[in-house]
Structure 1
Amino acid sequence: MDNFATSCLYLWLVELCCVACKTGWQVPCALTVGVDGQFTVTIVSNPAGTPVSGSTNTFDYPILSSVTLICMTSSDGFTFTVTNYQWDTTGCFTNDVHNTPTCFPTGQTTQSVTDNNLLAEDSGTITCTVTIGGADYTSGPLTLRISEIAMARVASNGGPSVDLVSSNQITDYSFIFQPFTLDPFNAILRCASGLGPTGRDLNTALGGWYFNGTQVDVPTGSVCADPVFEVRPAPVWRFPGVINLYLCGTFTTTEEGVYSCIMMNSSMMNQTMRVGVYFSGRIAPMIDTPFPVTVTLGVPFTLSCTSRGSPPDTFTWRRSDGQAVPSINVNAVIHTNTSAVFCAEYMDTITTSGIYTYTCTVTNLIGSDSETITVTTAVGPPDNVRATVTSSRSVEVTWDQSPTTDVTGYLISYTTTTSYISISSRSGSMMVTGRSITSVTLTNLEENTPYNITVQTDSSGTLSVNSDVVSVTTWKDVPSSPPQNVMVTSVNPSSLRVSWQPPPEIDHNGVINGYLIQYTRVDTSDMMSESVISGLLHTISGLDPFVDYLVIVTAMTINGTGPFSNPEVQTSGQNRPAVPRSLIVNSVTDTTVTLSWMTPVPPNGIVTQYDLQYRRCAGGSYTTLQPLNNEVTRTVTGLAVNTEYCFIVRAYTVILLGPGPWTDEIRGRTYGPPSNFNAVTLSPRSIEVTWDPPIANVDDINGYIISYDPVEGLLLRAVWQ
């Protein structure tokens, strides 16, 4: 047995010492402890026997008692294994039945040893030695004293036959006990002896029964008839037969004592068997002091009266009104060789409040005793308490009207042990006034929550005990609060990631079997939905780039969806922009072209830069100008006169994403001077000048400027818009 199991057995045996029965009688056991080094070795004896005055480890046992000894080992903080047990007994003696001592339990090597028939030669001082890790540790001594006459076998009333021989072995120190009466009783005593290998007959058989040293061999009329010899076949091959010597008759109180059977065995040696014949002791009754009792009005109750005495007791109950009533269930609970414990009960019912007394009187041939039990009434709880769930947050409680007129109201209490509910909300009560009220509805309970409900009657401020507990669970419902910690983050230009935590457990109101996500562009009212069956994370895809989206989340049970979370607004990621809009030529000169355009729609982000390229439309590669920031107009300079150019523009958001697409080409021509210029003198003071307009859009010309100088001559130029 390992250390854990040994410790458990030790504790069990210690507990056994303190086990009390209904009458207060205790099961005895004895402990003797020896501390040897780091280990404690203990002998546990069960039962303990009778302690010897002045000694802490000596106990008396009656003949033929059964005793179990257990060798226990313990250590504070050490793990160990016992590899050997050794029992030793000193001080044992030899009697006239056995020539050599047996010394229970000398030489045995098991942890526990049992003897079901202790004899006088088993007396002695016992120690137990255990071997742990090659070292021996020994307990303190436990001394057993086995008396020759003690309580043992009990004959039932009426005088049975008692056979004291088992096989061909003489059974010594047996005992016949007539319990709890002084009436004469009949018994047959038998002892036996082997006939031996040469054989003997009745005439040569030597033996007889003796009482108080005098052989019983003639009819006395008061003890019994002559002993009767009988020859029977031997039970084993060694003996040809067995001689049985019987002593039979009727025993009275004057024949109490020790009867000895002396016979010669097959080896021609005398053997003696002793039998004690005793009546119970004569003791006046003694009633155990009773405790006050509180009973429920209208409910039958039982009172118990326990008495110790012998011979049997007569019980009488008397109520406070003086009426004598009979006892019920009179039982002998336990007995010893000198007295008995009797228990009598009385059943009654009280319907009116008050304090009552019941007197129990016990009488036998020796004397009498009386004790009074005080009984106080209390209002009982209502009967037939029922609870019916009416909604996810309400329960109807009903009960039968109390038959007691003292009732002034009822207290309905409810509790739940659900851990996620705050302690302050786990219980509640409701008081209603009026004896005739038999129902109430509890409201504001938690959804999908188990409740234990009791009802007490109230009698002017005095409450009864609780009724039987009624258990119900409120119905499931939709969640009563939204998911917690909702977060929305941008994943890419077309996706948002949504995460959340479940609602508080108290608000689940059932099993959360999914979540519903709704989202929309903030510039529209078109709400879209996506369901999530498992998990607390979801990605919304297929979105437009760089758009503000509103997102809300709700939890679902089998009953539907709960409230939505507060809206979260998040902008989707940026992407390459669309084509810049409305690229136009605003103005031209002979060497410049000014262009303008509008931002892309959709921009797909924040436009941070534009590229502008141009080339001669007649042929040639594009020239890229220095990138523009977020300007939407640009003048291209250094162009050739009277030349048509082609222009394109594209936009950027995040540079790393790359540019958006180019616009379609637009054309613009620089202007040249008027052509075919000619001057004709019309008079000494006037000249007529003619020309052709420049190759350009004539509508763009506001006029011309003609310059003349005597030295330089005439000059002509056009004035553009």
Structure 2
Amino acid sequence: MGPYSITIKITTPEDAPSSAPVDIKFIFINSRTLFIQWGLIPLSDRNGIIIYYEVLVTTKEETYTYKTCDRNITIDSLQPSTTYNVSVAAFTNGRGPFSEPISITMPDDVPSGIPQSLSITSATATGLNISWNPPSEEDRNGDINGYIINVTNTDTLITTQFTTGNNDFSVNDLEPDTTYSLSVAARNANGTGPFTLPILIKTNQSAPSRPRRLRATAISPSSILLGWEPPANPNGEITAYHISITDEETGNVVIQETSNLTYVIITDLTPNNTYRCHVAAATTSMGPDSEYVFFNTEEDIPSASPSSVMSTVINSTAITVSWSPLNQSTTNGVIRHYKVSITNAVTGSEEILTTTNPNLTIAMLTPFTQYRVRVAAFTIGNGPYSNPITVVTAEDGTISTVAGSEQEEGTIAASVLAGLFGLILCLILCLLLLCCLCMSRRRRKRENDSNEYESTNNKMYINEYDPDNEMKELSPQNQNKKKASKKATTLSVNTSRPADYEYDTVTSPKEALINFEGNEGSSMMEVNLYFTDESSDEEEIKKK
């Protein structure tokens, strides 16, 4: 064999790698990020210079292709808890075969999606029923094992959290007529996902609590002012307050009234009466009654006059008037006394008398005179007078009875008692008159004693004139008066006083009456002395 020719170098063209990268490995960066690396293709299988690698990531539904010049790659935006098939191929002037895919399941993560279709299925005054659907499957990031519900009171901003394993929930113990904010989040083994956007819902109204601090103030005998404070928990819009007034004595509800305000004036009540009252508030339903408050209306003047007014004539100057007390419903207060009006029908003069009793004896009237009598009751003022009755007093020395309104049993007994009373009164007046007469006679006797005459040597003088004017001695025939029952003696007296005056002493069976008779300017006067002595003939004649 001959020698070889000169050696020449010939390079064949590149071709696609004939095998795939080997020894593929991966590392989870997190539940959404994956780090993948691989080894070199054997040199004999490279078939050229490897320009880059292609990484194929597939799921059941989708396929993703990534390119890299390195023998590793970081892939993010993957879905937690999702299984991916990963394979790698080298590229020279063409792509070589992909490696056998390896299955990689991303780790679980908190749900990335929110529950769907959150809605309110029903609402009451104190509760709400809500429901929702789970997050979309790709957002669950694992098995959903529960839900978190946040309920926030928009007035107080207090949030209450509830948990459930179902797709619906009932929220209870809420405040009536209150707006709440609700949101829901899904939860898996890794934690809680995002909450839904909140929805607002207002609970229904309910019965309010009782009104507070009820108070009553009397403003007239027949009206009061009621006031109160709104309920602490209105539980809605107060549409009205309902007031109830009960008569404490009868137990009957006498007034029921409504008011849109927190006060009301109650009228048409009975004066001087005890009532109890309460108030209830209402929204869409009635709330409980407030505490009872008791009050008394003010007194008023009586609304009626005494009935059955009648009179009894006791004597010519006195009558008795009697009547029946007022009914309780017309007294309007405490009867402090009665006023009796008696009018003289002849003169028209009126006199008002008072008494605390249902009868009155009126004395010192004019005999046989017509009177008109009326009666009224007095509380804080006069009530109306009764219709007048007419009565005529008796004539002197007679007793009669005149009935005003109606004749009743016992009138005769009253007349007898009144007559006895008048008789006793007359006896007392007679005794007083007799005492006065005796005192008057004694006083006149003392006056005469001070003016008695002085007698000396059978001569008499008149002290109050001139003692020098001597009276002449008594005539002898007038010295003996032992058996005379009635004699007359004439004396002559010198005096310068006029003789036309008469001087009368107090007369009595044993006293003399001296008459001075004469003409003006006469120096003589005649004195007639009359002595009466019926008890003894031996008694000496007294000279006065």
TM-score, length of structure 1 as denominator length: 0.38
Structure number, greater radius of gyration: 2
Q: Which has the higher strand share?
A: 1
Q: Which has the higher helix share?
A: 2
Higher relative contact order (Cα pairs below 8 Å, separated by 6+ residues): 2
